[in-house]
Structure 1
């Protein structure tokens, strides 16, 4: 049995001091949003409690689906690197970037350099930007594949993009890992599901992504971005159904408009054609910030290897 923890949208705070020069970009709108909304709805003590609970569960691997930072300031990126080190060895923690990590032009490359150890596949090639994705890590019977949907966008936009170049590389990885009899987990920040979020925050290339999964298959797709605990399904090969699982923002406070913070814990067992996925959400269970199981499910059904 392989235990996989998944969380997302950390938005580490507090925000460091920002210069006027740094605000002379899209960051001005993000800074205003932070001051008016995000800093009031995020409880960074909650992130610590959720992280402690996650580490106590002793997962074999941790999947983090983006938005570690807020405005992609250099000090934020460095703070996130130090925080990642507190989670455990880089070979047991896999990260894909989110739109906030690519907030302005050049930010994604800086994140890739700073967090390279957590985005490097088994081939040992460190990431230098969007062309480094997807990457592949094999841990026991599980293949962890990191896809990037992150890109810099205009003010008031938070959309992502799944490119043709990634499609070709991902197809080869999915085929190779299927032939090796592995359980394939695809990590991406934006949900590859139509209607999961509004047009300004959607993923461009959803049709391309879903066509790829219909042909090449996967066993589980993990995402963040919406700050909501969701389970969707998209078609896989030969009538299979692939679960697409989202998660609330890790530090989302109790009583805010969106669900309070939690993480997903998956227990993966079985063999090709007969995989079993036990799935629980662990996070805030009451107004006192107590961490426990929020819900649980068995995601087996018609999930099949491609």
Structure 2
């Protein structure tokens, strides 16, 4: 079985054309990095790049497509709408597509309060095993074929101030995940657990500090060995840590649409185990 995994696509509105009163102070603080810092320019072609990744997923006959958060720059409706349009028909079928929110998709309390992510992608959060949901729709389970299941978690929280982007899953979701791992209906399936924040750094250390995953160690302890993989984004570097008897495979998808670093993972599953992955660069 073949899974395509991308992340941190950051479709970015034209912030120069938006009235400041509509943006709010959190987005005001982001404007220097977006505009003067060149971030908006780096993601100028993100819609076309995301559409190309979705197209390649179809051409590769991938069994499932996974996007592990940060669809937007700052959680505007226009950015979510652009992401959904770029994904095209792929995003209409939850059997073929999993999308979870990242911290940029809950950038403001208002975006979380009105359920802006759910407005565009909520249809993908329905679970095949809803009895394991503990925090809203999470963790949700998506059976894929006869040999795998995708499990969606939410680590994205509204930051106290921009720049503090630490994530946490929380006890309730972790308890739900433990029940998923032990569910006999999933025996014999590889479990691909999707979360936005990274449990480990590219060097293999616990990701801590203002940008890490606070309960990353607890997550890894629930998922020992090659039956399991954690697919994440947040850290804008593409890397893989192979599974050990104590922890799962970890696939960091980097930022799949960042100019000059466009790409994604193709992850292989055979016999109910994750057998490896291949980094795929995108020709643009």
Please confirm whether the aligned pair reaches a TM-score higher than 0.5, indicating the same fold.
Answer: yes
Q: Which residue does 2:166 correspond to in 1?
A: 159
Is the alpha carbon distance of 1:245 and 1:253 closer, same or farther for their aligned partners in structure 2, counting shifts above 3 Å? same
CA deviations on 1:132-174 (whole Å, 9 max, x unpaired) are 2110111112110001100110122111111011111111011
The range that moved more, 135-144 or 191-200, is 191-200
- Note if 1:202 corresponds to 2:212: yes
Q: Which residue does 2:142 correspond to in 1?
A: 137
Is the alpha carbon distance of 1:131 and 1:249 closer, same or farther for their aligned partners in structure 2, counting shifts above 3 Å? same
Unmatched 5+ residue regions in structure 1?
255-259, 285-289, 292-306
Instruction: Please report how far the alpha carbon of residue 226 of structure 1 lies from its aligned counterpart in structure 2 after TM superposition.
Output: 0.7
Instruction: Please report how far the alpha carbon of residue 88 of structure 1 lies from its aligned counterpart in structure 2 after TM superposition.
Output: 4.5
Q: Which residue does 1:23 correspond to in 2?
A: 23
Q: Decide which of 106, 109, 132 is 1:105's aligned counterpart.
A: 109
| CA RMSD, 1 decimal | 2.7
Is the alpha carbon distance of 1:32 and 1:198 closer, same or farther for their aligned partners in structure 2, counting shifts above 3 Å? farther
Q: Judge conservation of contact 2:227–2:274 (CA < 8 Å) in 1.
A: no
CA deviations on 1:52-99 (whole Å, 9 max, x unpaired) are 323211211101100001111122223333334443432211011101
- Note if 1:281 corresponds to 2:270: no
Q: Judge conservation of contact 1:187–1:221 (CA < 8 Å) in 2.
A: yes
Q: Which residue does 2:33 correspond to in 1?
A: 33
- Note if 1:184 corresponds to 2:191: yes
Q: Structure 1 length as normaliser, TM-score?
A: 0.79
Q: Which residue does 2:234 correspond to in 1?
A: 225
Q: Judge conservation of contact 1:160–1:201 (CA < 8 Å) in 2.
A: yes
Q: How many residues align?
A: 271
Q: Which residue does 1:94 correspond to in 2?
A: 98
Is the alpha carbon distance of 1:156 and 1:70 closer, same or farther for their aligned partners in structure 2, counting shifts above 3 Å? same
Q: Which residue does 1:77 correspond to in 2?
A: 80
Q: Judge conservation of contact 2:51–2:87 (CA < 8 Å) in 1.
A: no
Q: Structure 2 length as normaliser, TM-score?
A: 0.85
Unmatched 5+ residue regions in structure 2?
none
Is the alpha carbon distance of 1:122 and 1:164 closer, same or farther for their aligned partners in structure 2, counting shifts above 3 Å? same
